[in-house]
Amino acid sequence: MAKIVRIDMGAKKITQEDAGKYTPYGSRGFIARFMKDEVDPACEPLGIHNKLIIATGLLGGTMTSSSGRLSVGGKSPLTNGIKEASSGGTAANDLARHGIRALVFEGLPEKGDQSSYVLVIDGEGIRLEVMDDLRLVGAQDTILRLREKFGDRAGVICNGPAGEYMMRGAGVVCASVDSSMRFAARGGLGALMGSKHVKAVVIVPSKEDRVEYFDKAAYTEASKEYQQMLVDAYPTIQKSNQLYGTTGMTKIVDELGFLPTRNFTRGSFEGVENICGEKMVELIQARGGEGKTGVACMNGCMIRCSSIFPDENGKKICSTVQYENIALLGSNLCIDNFDDLARLNHQVNDLGLDAIETGAALGVAAEAGLVKFGDGPGFLKLMDEIRAGTPLGRVIGNGTRVTGEVFGINDLPTSKNQAFPGYDPRALKGNGVTFAVNPMGGDHTLGNCYGSRGQVPPLATEGQGDLSRNTQVQMAALENLGFCIFARSYLFKKPELFTQLVFGITGQQMTVDEFWAQGTETTRIEREFNIASGISPAMDRLPEYMYREPLPPTGHVFDLTEEEVLKGIV
């Protein structure tokens, strides 16, 4: 049976137990149920009673393509509610092969204990090591140093300086195959990790594969069928996912008019041609060197959506620039130069910051006059302030709400204190519903209606509530498994495969409807946690200015009725 490993950061004591009743749940599903049982909803997010949970999906450690995402959760220091964020990289598969479903960091180091701790999982067992030389080291160097010490194939989960400073914009970093950074970015979970002085988790690959199957044959059959779907779709995958990753959508979003631009005051960016996916690929191909597309973040992935963006000399600037980065660090800041964008993206990553939260905070900082829109080097200087922990840097690193509060800006693109991702909800109204009602605020994964724009037009005032709710439910069900978003789109063609894969692992027999119902249950547990934590239904809304100020070029405000919005509540 999969194990839960508890690490008491006060007593520095490590204990293991069977996953027990949590066995049927992975990732977000695990985190919601575990937190319901063990975390006081009203506790202080950076206090002694919160827990940092790192969990694999149900399929973690299998060789099924693209199923090895890592989930990180806890009570969010940003939203003050429940939070799960997930990441690519190798660590989830590494943990699962050690037979571990979840790591749970509990308690706080004693006052006066200033050490940085690394949890090491290897053939000798599980132990905490003090590694003070990693204190405030950037996430990129932290990965490189730990892989130098523990081997190139070691899984690494780590915190950047932002999380160590306990900035609420900090995410948790997960190393990819090629030692670049992937992110469980949102909700300030890096600050939670920082409060517990956990600088990193290192997982030396297990010699023995400890993934347990209820019926391995059944699992393998379903997995093969799914992988065949990927093989069948491979020409498309090569032309789209492998080339552009998520960046291919930039120009579409711009044309539809909801590309966050100039601190969410416009939905279309005049410099879009210079920061779109096509431009990225053109530059990568022309510059060569370390630059490439079609990079896998986890072993065994057939989709390989990552890329490495190089400078003019072919030297790597950033891996991997994604759509959300382009939207929040590019158009939202009016940066129309891909080199500036990639450099900013890399600095944000290396600091261990959430690019969405930070991009939105930088937009607010520009609105406040601290830097000029479009001034790439100016924004990069602010990254130096964050790294140095200056007052200004600490403000921005704490995200959009704190930046707005400090600099007297009231109109903030946030919901439940979390910044909006790359979809202005005035012109993609389904996402407005999701941002308003979902348990984690402005979020791009929990119920993103972008992919269903053929089904309900982005500007329509009806149907958005149902669309958002259904999408939220499906995503919550799928989060159990550990699949990445690209894999899901192929799997959706035959949802029975989800249930067959789950059966192969856990032995649970369920219909597709019952599978989706798990998503409903997860979301409701999260919502109940939030209400008990003090996040009342009064907070199920967007910022006031979005109901009032039209967004060019569509000229739309967020004009759904309250009734329509509330339909989105799961």
Q: Which residues contact 53 (CB under 8 A, 6 or more apart)?
A: 30, 31, 34, 35, 71, 72, 73, 74, 102, 103, 104, 105
Q: Which of 407, 450, 465 lies closest to 263 in space, CA to CA?
A: 407
Number of residues that bind a second copy (CB under 8 A): 39
Helix (H) or strand (E) holding 486: helix 485-491
Three-state DSSP string of 331-348: HHHCCCCHHHHHHHHHHH
- Shortest Å, Cβ 437 to a second copy: 14
Query: Could you tell me if 5 and 126 are in contact, meaning their C-beta atoms sit under 8 angstroms apart?
Result: yes
> Can residue 559 be called a binding residue for a second copy (CB under 8 A)?
no
Amino acid at 230: L
Pairing of strands 198-203, 292-295: unpaired
Figure out which of the listed residues 422, 441, 543, 568 binds a second copy, where binding follows CB under 8 A. Answer: 543
Figure out which of the listed residues 24, 29, 41, 260 binds a second copy, where binding follows CB under 8 A. Answer: 41
> Can residue 10 be called a binding residue for a second copy (CB under 8 A)?
no
Figure out which of the listed residues 165, 219, 435, 450 binds a second copy, where binding follows CB under 8 A. Answer: 165
Which CB sits closer to a second copy, 215 or 528?
Answer: 528
Exposure string of 153-191, with b = 16+ CB inside 10 Å and e = fewer, is: ebbbbbbbbbbbbbbbbbbbbbbbbbbbbbbbbbbbbbb
> Can residue 334 be called a binding residue for a second copy (CB under 8 A)?
no
Which CB sits closer to a second copy, 380 or 517?
Answer: 380
Residue 253 structure tokens: 């979003």
- Shortest Å, Cβ 164 to a second copy: 9
DSSP 556: B
Figure out which of the listed residues 394, 429, 444, 527 binds a second copy, where binding follows CB under 8 A. Answer: 394
> Can residue 136 be called a binding residue for a second copy (CB under 8 A)?
no
Q: Which of 161, 162, 142, 134 lies closest to 77 in space, CA to CA?
A: 162
Stretch that binds a second copy, among 5-13, 431-439, 452-460, 544-552 (CB under 8 A): 544-552
Figure out which of the listed residues 130, 229, 392, 517 binds a second copy, where binding follows CB under 8 A. Answer: 392
Query: Could you tell me if 188 and 105 are in contact, meaning their C-beta atoms sit under 8 angstroms apart?
Result: no
- Shortest Å, Cβ 477 to a second copy: 28
CA torsion angle 329 335 338 341 (round to 10) = -30
Figure out which of the listed residues 123, 314, 534, 555 binds a second copy, where binding follows CB under 8 A. Answer: 534
**Beta-carbon neighbour count of residue 494 at 10 Å?**
14
Q: Which of 172, 173, 209 lies closest to 191 in space, CA to CA?
A: 172
Figure out which of the listed residues 1, 42, 252, 286 binds a second copy, where binding follows CB under 8 A. Answer: 42
Query: Could you tell me if 41 and 139 are in contact, meaning their C-beta atoms sit under 8 angstroms apart?
Result: no
Which CB sits closer to a second copy, 105 or 226?
Answer: 105
Q: What residue has token string 């989830």?
A: 92
Which CB sits closer to a second copy, 41 or 504?
Answer: 41
Which CB sits closer to a second copy, 194 or 291?
Answer: 194
- Shortest Å, Cβ 38 to a second copy: 16
> Can residue 114 be called a binding residue for a second copy (CB under 8 A)?
no
d(CA 86, CA 29): 12
Which CB sits closer to a second copy, 84 or 540?
Answer: 540
Footprint on residues 362-391 left by a second copy (CB under 8 A): 390-391
d(CA 70, CA 88): 6
- Give the SS3 label for residue 82: strand
Query: Could you tell me if 360 and 419 are in contact, meaning their C-beta atoms sit under 8 angstroms apart?
Result: yes
d(CA 521, CA 516): 9
- Shortest Å, Cβ 43 to a second copy: 7
> Can residue 266 be called a binding residue for a second copy (CB under 8 A)?
no
Residue 117 structure tokens: 């701790």
Beta bridge partners of 419: 414
Which CB sits closer to a second copy, 166 or 476?
Answer: 166
- Shortest Å, Cβ 345 to a second copy: 24
- Shortest Å, Cβ 392 to a second copy: 4
Figure out which of the listed residues 17, 110, 496, 544 binds a second copy, where binding follows CB under 8 A. Answer: 544
> Can residue 169 be called a binding residue for a second copy (CB under 8 A)?
no
Footprint on residues 395-434 left by a second copy (CB under 8 A): 395, 398, 402, 405-408, 410
- Shortest Å, Cβ 548 to a second copy: 8
Binding site for a second copy (CB under 8 A): 41-44, 46-49, 165-168, 194-195, 390-392, 394-395, 398, 402, 405-408, 410, 531-536, 538-539, 541, 543-545, 548
